[in-house]
Amino acid sequence: MKKIVGLLMSLVLLLGVFAGCSNTESSGEAKDGKKKADLKVWSFTDELKKPITKFEEKNGVTVELTIVPIADYPTKLKPVLESGVGAPDVFTGEIAFLKQWVNAGYWENLSEKPYNVDEIADNYVPYVFDLGKDQNGDVRALSWQTTPGGLFYKRSIAKEVLGTDDPTEIGEMLSSMDKVFEVSEKMKEKGYRMFPDEGSIRWFAQGDNPQPWVNEKDELKLTDEKIEFLDYAKELRENSYTALAPEWSPSWFEAMDKPIKVKEDGKETETEVFSYVLPTWGLHSVLKTNVKESNGDWAVTSGPSPYFWGGTWLGVYNKSENKELAYDFVKMMTQDDEFLTDWATETGDVLSYLPVTNKIKDDFSDEFLGGQNNYKFFLEQAKNIEPGIVTKYDQQLDTFYGNAVSEYVDGKKTKEAAIKEFYRKAQNAYPELKVPKN
Amino acid sequence: MKNLNRYGYFFIAPFWIIFLVFNIYPVALTFYYSFTNYSGSGVAEVVGLANYQRLLTDTFFVEAFFNTWKIWGINFALQIGIALILAAIFSDMRVKMKGLAFFRSIFYLPNLITVSSVALLFGILLDWQHGSLNIVLMNLGLISQPINWLNEPATAQLSVSLILTWMWFGHSFIVVMAGVSGISKDYYEAALIDGATRMQTFFHITLPLLKPILLYIMITSLIGGLQLFDLPMLLTDGIGSPDGSLNTMVLYLYNQAFKYNNYGYAAAVAYGLFIITIIFSAIVFKSMYRNERKQARQV
């Protein structure tokens, strides 16, 4: 008897161990009697919630959405994709790690049968479609949106200082870096600040000749335009054209809606910020969510050079057992006329799918922007964006270079020392790169 | 006779299974990766000792080593200092301080807040233009220019040290108080009768008898300190800004693995850190052992 009890108890203990290892499918089934999801989707925002509900209704299936915050997303997703255990059928990728992922082979090749997406290439904004391709030119991921950037400014300040609030006219006044500095000086004379911080102009640092950070020969290239950016940033600081409110800091958000205090040279001045350099999503998820009083007083125009910032792509996991349904979801998100029209009118998201945008772009107007048709504006900007300058190194190299710029602007390092430090960091993070020795 | 002992193996099996799967296997796998150029996906090529060679000449790792020591050292000195002063006040027979239980929980509270909240809180307090700290200091006339605390290497490291002190002095205080209450009251009464001053009581009775406790705090704090990661990660941009001053060893390891995808090299960094931890733990244990022998001889 004792033996049996002993054996039973040790078995119970062992079971406890294995229970922890049991796969999620069985526990998923057990939960409130629901059957397991037909399709698993992973993403880093809740953006897909509504489309998924629609997809479920339309096809009579259940979809399980897993949201992982962006900071942990690549680290969490990678082991799952490597092992295939508990992996999603569809997953999204952000621009910061898109290049790495399209080449890693986790996403199904959509250029092959039965998908043949190359046939509909002309339906997309060129740079968006291009970014979803791997090194062999095969499409791995598609996107429903395009994220070109603009320069959002306050109409009331524009009228007072520049005599007009018309986006086209203001855009002409900002068509080169020299002109931007002219306007900044005018702003300063009237007690305003052109930008919240020096980093605001980094998107224009590419100039008219955008080049990738790393070329095909794995050489790190610091273009003259990027070096010039160091001087521009320093000039902004030295001439007090910025409000010393670093991006994403509390003061950066506060300055959108209210006058803020700037402390420099031992005195405190109250000022207002004229413009924010933000892309499409900046309007909906940054400005609109943080601005109350100046609602309707904003407008968007173009800066010295076109740029894009961010973007979400999605594709089918190549080891998925449910590729057909998975691709149906991708198709709905990226090619379904009816769904995309609803999506765009509901959220104001700027789409990359031209058959829909051509149909709806003329009827847009945004109350927040004083009735301006930002949709048409952004689509125009998207046309000018050069594809092929995105590399898998961008996110880190941008951070390193941003550090170099602020160290130079703060006067902690000379230009040469800041660039040298940038090279040192780049080489350390990516030993395979050929970094200039100087 | 039948051997009944084998049932024992069933009972210890759960521990061993968990230990092998979650401790031994990752540690062994990391050791293997440290000899490869594994990038997180695809195949891992064996590259021999290349990663360790790189580690020995890596200036970033050396910087990280000294940063970690600077930040931990200042924090430890302050933390122990504050804990001892408080312990001296609360244990003084003449003062008879009240509310020990109350203060003990108050001092311990910061330790209950998650580090990410602490980082967010201090990020706002230490803000250059609009932080409360600068506003208070400027209104008091102590400074004329706002100080960009998290943008200068020296002040950034000091900030992290002070935040760590604030978070951990309560913990040290509780441990020290436990040690103090273990000291027999007889010594203090005898000292009081002999007319010893407070200072003398503290330095000749309290401190020597607290030595084992202090050593314990030191070892646990050292091991925790060498793994300093969360605050430096969250307070600035996560790669050790300003000017690499908040780049600690574990932060460096994390960035090499998860940001730059050099998993192989990161594994070597992990083993480098492991060796460093062993060396310092050995030094501490050795000094403890020597002290014990010395004491034994005195007796």
Q: Do B258 and A75 touch (CB under 8 A)?
A: yes
CA proximity to A67, closest of A86, A41, A90: A41
Beta carbon pairs, A and B, within 8 Å:
85
Nearest CA in chain B to A425: B60
Q: Do B262 and A13 touch (CB under 8 A)?
A: no
Closest to A262 (Cβ–Cβ): which among B129, B144, B237?
A: B129
Nearest CA in chain A to B18: A17
Stretches in chain B below the pLDDT threshold 70: 1-4, 288, 291-299
Give the type of residue at A377. F
Q: Which uninterrupted H or E stretch holds A66?
A: strand A63-67
Contacts of B241 in chain A (CB under 8 A): 403
Structure tokens at B77: 């000195």
Contacts of B148 in chain A (CB under 8 A): 410
Distance CA A194, CA A299 (A): 15
Assess whether A42 and A89 both reside in one domain.
Answer: yes
Closest to A6 (Cβ–Cβ): which among B7, B128, B265?
A: B7
Q: What is the CATH number of the domain that holds A140?
A: 3.40.190.10
Q: Which residues contact A13 (CB under 8 A, 6 or more apart)?
A: B10, B11, B13, B14
Q: Give the model's pLDDT for residue A14.
A: 62
Closest to A17 (Cβ–Cβ): which among B17, B239, B259?
A: B17
Q: Give the model's pLDDT for residue A29.
A: 40
Chain B nearest C-alpha distance from A164 (Å): 32
In a domain, A424, yes or no: yes
- Going from the C-alpha of A438 to that of each of A407, A413, A417, A419, the distances in angstroms are 19, 16, 10, 9
Give the residue numbers spanning the domain of A427: 199-223+393-438
The angle formed by the CA atoms of residues A25, A26 and A28, to the nearest 5 degrees, is 65
Q: Do B10 and A266 touch (CB under 8 A)?
A: no
Closest to A10 (Cβ–Cβ): which among B11, B54, B237?
A: B11
Q: Where does B47-184 have alpha helices with state H?
A: 50-56, 59-91, 100-108, 115-125, 132-139, 153-181
Length of chain A: 438
Q: Do B129 and A251 touch (CB under 8 A)?
A: yes
- Going from the C-alpha of B194 to that of each of A21, B191, B198, the distances in angstroms are 66, 5, 12
Assess whether A50 and A132 both reside in one domain.
Answer: yes
Q: Which CATH architecture has domain B65-298?
A: Orthogonal Bundle (1.10)
Question: Is the distance from CB of A245 to CB of A255 less than 8 angstroms?
Answer: yes
- What total of structural domains would you count in chain A? 2
In a domain, A349, yes or no: yes
Task: Inform me whether the C-beta atom of residue A1 falls under 8 Å from chain B C-beta atoms.
Answer: no
Task: Give the CA dihedral A138, A144, A150, A156, nearest 10 degrees.
Answer: 180
Question: Is the distance from CB of B156 to CB of B236 less than 8 angstroms?
Answer: yes
**From the candidates A17, A21, A392, which should be mutated to test the interface with B, based on the most B CB atoms within 10 A?**
A17
Tens digit of pLDDT per residue, chain A (438 long)?
A: 666 766 666 666 666 655 555 444 444 344 444 557 889 999 998 889 999 999 999 999 999 999 999 888 988 898 899 888 889 999 999 998 898 889 888 999 999 988 999 999 999 999 999 999 998 999 999 999 999 999 999 999 999 999 999 999 999 999 999 999 999 999 999 999 999 999 999 988 877 778 899 998 999 999 988 999 999 999 999 999 999 888 988 889 999 998 998 887 777 889 999 999 999 999 998 999 999 999 999 999 999 999 999 999 999 999 999 999 999 999 999 999 999 999 998 888 999 999 999 999 888 889 999 999 999 999 999 988 887 788 889 989 999 999 999 999 999 999 999 999 999 999 999 999 999 875
Contacts of A11 in chain B (CB under 8 A): 10
Question: Is the distance from CB of A309 to CB of A203 less than 8 angstroms?
Answer: yes
Distance CA A102, CA A109 (A): 9
Q: Give the model's pLDDT for residue A119.
A: 92
Q: Do B127 and A412 touch (CB under 8 A)?
A: no
Chain A nearest C-alpha distance from B68 (Å): 19
Question: Is the distance from CB of A236 to CB of A198 less than 8 angstroms?
Answer: yes
Assess whether A346 and A407 both reside in one domain.
Answer: no
In a domain, A2, yes or no: no
- β pairing state of A90-94 and A312-316: antiparallel
Under DSSP, is residue B1 helix (H, G, I), strand (E, B) or coil? Answer: coil
The answer to whether the pTM exceeds 0.90 is: no
Q: Give the model's pLDDT for residue B297.
A: 59
The label of the residue with tokens 């000091």 reads B158
| DSSP per-residue codes, A6-32 | HHHHHHHHHHHHHHHHS-HHHHHHHGG
Distance CA A232, CA A216 (A): 29
Q: Do A412 and B11 touch (CB under 8 A)?
A: no
Q: Do B241 and A403 touch (CB under 8 A)?
A: yes
Task: Inform me whether the C-beta atom of residue B208 falls under 8 Å from chain A C-beta atoms.
Answer: no
Which of A 13-52 lie inside 8 A of B, CB atoms?
13-14, 16-17
Question: Is the distance from CB of B259 to CB of B239 less than 8 angstroms?
Answer: yes
Q: Do A3 and B7 touch (CB under 8 A)?
A: yes
Distance CA A419, CA A405 (A): 9
In a domain, A117, yes or no: yes
Distance CA A27, CA A23 (A): 7
Task: Inform me whether the C-beta atom of residue B242 falls under 8 Å from chain A C-beta atoms.
Answer: yes
Contacts of B256 in chain A (CB under 8 A): 429
Give the type of residue at B77. A
Contacts of B134 in chain A (CB under 8 A): 263
Assess whether A137 and A46 both reside in one domain.
Answer: yes
Contacts of B146 in chain A (CB under 8 A): 263
Q: Give the model's pLDDT for residue A23.
A: 46
In a domain, A302, yes or no: no
Q: Give the model's pLDDT for residue B2.
A: 65
Task: Inform me whether the C-beta atom of residue B14 falls under 8 Å from chain A C-beta atoms.
Answer: yes
Burial of A371 (0-12, 13-18, 19+ CB in 10 A): exposed
Chain B nearest C-alpha distance from A181 (Å): 24
Assess whether A121 and A39 both reside in one domain.
Answer: yes
Q: Do A429 and B260 touch (CB under 8 A)?
A: yes
Task: Inform me whether the C-beta atom of residue B129 falls under 8 Å from chain A C-beta atoms.
Answer: yes
Q: Do B260 and A78 touch (CB under 8 A)?
A: no
Contacts of A14 in chain B (CB under 8 A): 10, 13-14, 17
In a domain, A36, yes or no: yes
Domain ranges of chain B: 65-298
**From the candidates B2, B36, B41, B234, which should be mutated to test the interface with A, based on the most A CB atoms within 10 A?**
B41
Q: Do A263 and B138 touch (CB under 8 A)?
A: yes
Q: Which residues contact B253 (CB under 8 A, 6 or more apart)?
A: B266, B269, B270, B273
- Going from the C-alpha of B171 to that of each of A215, B109, B111, B163, the distances in angstroms are 53, 9, 8, 14
Q: Do B60 and A428 touch (CB under 8 A)?
A: yes
Q: Give the model's pLDDT for residue B155.
A: 94
Contacts of B239 in chain A (CB under 8 A): 399-400, 403
Closest to A250 (Cβ–Cβ): which among B4, B11, B127?
A: B127
Closest to B18 (Cβ–Cβ): which among A17, A265, A410?
A: A17
Chain B nearest C-alpha distance from A182 (Å): 26
In a domain, A377, yes or no: no
Q: Give the model's pLDDT for residue A26.
A: 41
Q: Which uninterrupted H or E stretch holds A131?
A: helix A126-131
Distance CA B2, CA B11 (A): 18
In a domain, A293, yes or no: no
